[in-house]
Amino acid sequence: MTRKDYMEALESKLGFIPTAQRKAILDYYEEMVEDRMEDGMDEASAVAAMERPETIAERLKAEGNYAKDEPETDDGEQLTDEAMRFSSLAGSLLRTFEDLEKAGKVTPPETPVSPSAPEPEASDKKKDAVDRAFDSMDQALDSMERTMDSVGDQVCDSVERAVDFAGNKVFDSVERAVDAATNYIQRHTTDTAEGDYEKKTFTCPADKVRAIRLLSGEMPIRVTACEGNDLTLTYYTCDNDPYELNLDDGVLALEKLSYKKMDISRFTFAVLDGIIKMRWSKPAPTVELLLPRNALVSLTAHASNASVKVSGCQALVEAELKTSNSRIEAGDLSCVRLNCVSSNGRLVLTNITSRQYMSCKTSNSRIVANDLKSKGDMQLTTSNGHIEGHSLQSAGNLQLITSNSGILAEDCAAKGELRMTTSNGKLETWRSQGASIQLRTSNASIRGGIPGTMSDWRIESRTSNGKNSLPKQQDGFKPLTVSTSNGSIDLHFEG
C-alpha cells in the first residue's frame, strides 16, 4: 500500500470527525509516515509499520464524541435579504427620530388619555404622537438588534469560509512554486555522487581528548556510546566537499575546508503544514563517532539540513547539538549542560540528566520529551509546534513554551515555577506540580488535574466565552495563574 492509499483509507474512516479536527489528525499520521521514511524505511515498509486505519478510527471514536459539521448554506442571498431588512429598519428608526424632533422632543405621558375624555387639545395630540413614536422606535430597535445578531453571525461564518478558501489557494500556489523550483534545480545542477567520497577512519585513546567538534555541513551525524577506551571517528571527504580532521591540544575537530555553495541537487522541497522544508533526495554519507560510554569530553555536533543523533554517553561536559531543517534525537545521556537547537526540525529527547541546565529549542516543529532530569532550569521552546512532555523533573524552573499549537505535560515537577504558555493551542497538565504554576493560552481550552487540594493554591483565573471550573480569585499558599480567552478552563484537584 502506498502512502497516498493509506491516507485515503484513513480519511474515509474518519467521517464522524469534524473537518478541522480530521485534517489535524490526518496531518499527524502523514507526518508519522514521513518520519519513518526519513529514518531510512522505504514507502511500503513505512506504511506497513503504521496502525490500520480501522484501528485508529475505532480508538478515536471511543475517546470522545464528535459533533458533525454544520451543513453549508448559500449565505450570499440570505445575507443580502438581511442587509436589506436592516437598511429598512434603520430608515424607519431615522424617520421616528425626525417625528420626535417635529413633536418638540417631549417625553411621552405617564398615563394614556381616557377614551371617554373630551376631544384632546393640540398639546394632547402632540403627546399621543410622541407616545406612538416611542412605541414604534422600541419595536424598531428590538428588531434591529435581532437582525444585527443574525447578520453578524453570518458575516463571521462567511469570513471564516473565505479565509479557509484563500488559505488553501495560497498553499496550493506555494506547492506549485516549490515543485517548479525543485524541477529547475534538478535540471540545472550536477551532484556529487556518494561514491566520489573517500571514507576515512580515525582512532585514538579517549583520554587524550577533552573536546570534540563535529561540523559536518550537509552530512548527518551519529554519536553512539561504545565499550573500551578508544574513540573511533568515521568521516568522508572529496574534492567537491572537502573535510579535514585535526587533533590539537586535546580538541578533536572535523571541519569543512571550503564553504562552497552546497550541492542543491541533493535536495527536494516539500510543504508541510504551510512550512517549506528541504529534504534529502539522495543518500548522504554519515559522520559516525563511537565514543566510550564514560569518556569525559565536551561534544559539539553541528549539521546543516541533516539530522543529529546522540545516544548512550554518560560523562559529557557540554553537549551542544545543532542543525537546521532536520531533527535532533538524544537519548540515554548524562551531561553537565545540554543545548539542543534546530529550525524546522523535530526534537526527540529521552532519558537525559543534566547537572546544571537544559535548553532545547526548535521552530515550526514539535518537541517530544520523556524522562528528563535537570538540577537547574529546564526549558523546551518551539513555535508552531506541539510540545509533549512526560516525567520532566527540574530542580529550578520548568518552562514549556510554544505558539499556535498545544502543550501536554504529564507527571512533571519543578521546585521553582512550572510554566506552560502558548497561543491558539490547548493546554493539558496531569499530575504535574511546581512551587507555582502558570498556564496561559488563547482561543483554546485548559484542562487537567492539579496535585493537592484547592485550598493549597492562591488562584487567579480568567477566561471569556467559556466555562471556568476555578474561582476567579482565592487566597492560598502557592500561586496558580490560569488564563485563556474563547476557551474553557476545566481543572480539578487531586488531593
H/E segment holding residue 386: none
Antiparallel, parallel or unpaired: β 230-237 and 198-205 = antiparallel
Q: How far is CA 128 from CA 109, 122, 136, 140, in A?
A: 8, 10, 12, 18
Per-residue pLDDT at 185 exceeds 50: no
Give the pLDDT confidence score for residue 404 in this predicted structure.
85
Give the pLDDT confidence score for residue 202 in this predicted structure.
96
Give the pLDDT confidence score for residue 173 in this predicted structure.
54
5, three cell numbers: 492509499
In this predicted model, what pLDDT tens digit does every residue of 293-334 receive, in sequence order?
Answer: 999 999 999 998 889 999 999 999 999 999 988 899 999 999
**212: exposed, middle or buried (Cβ count in 10 Å: 0-12, 13-18, 19+):** buried
Q: How is residue 468 annotated by DSSP?
A: B
- Mapping DSSP to helix (H, G, I), strand (E, B) and coil, where does residue 280 land? strand
Q: How far is CA 160 from the centre of its chain?
A: 21
In this predicted model, what pLDDT tens digit does every residue of 275-292 receive, in sequence order?
Answer: 555 554 456 789 999 999
Residue written as grid cell 480568567: 462
In this predicted model, what pLDDT tens digit does every residue of 25-47 receive, in sequence order?
Answer: 887 788 788 777 776 678 888 88
**434: exposed, middle or buried (Cβ count in 10 Å: 0-12, 13-18, 19+):** buried
Antiparallel, parallel or unpaired: β 287-292 and 230-237 = antiparallel
The candidate with the shortest Cα–Cα distance to 330, out of 309, 300, 302, is 309
Average model confidence (pLDDT) across the chain? 78
- Mapping DSSP to helix (H, G, I), strand (E, B) and coil, where does residue 25 land? helix
Q: What percent of the chain has pLDDT over 70?
A: 67
Contacting residues for 357 by C-beta, under 8 A, at least 6 apart: 337, 338, 374, 376, 377, 378, 396
Span 183-205, mean pLDDT?
Answer: 65
Angle at 322 between CA 320 and CA 326, to 5 degrees: 145
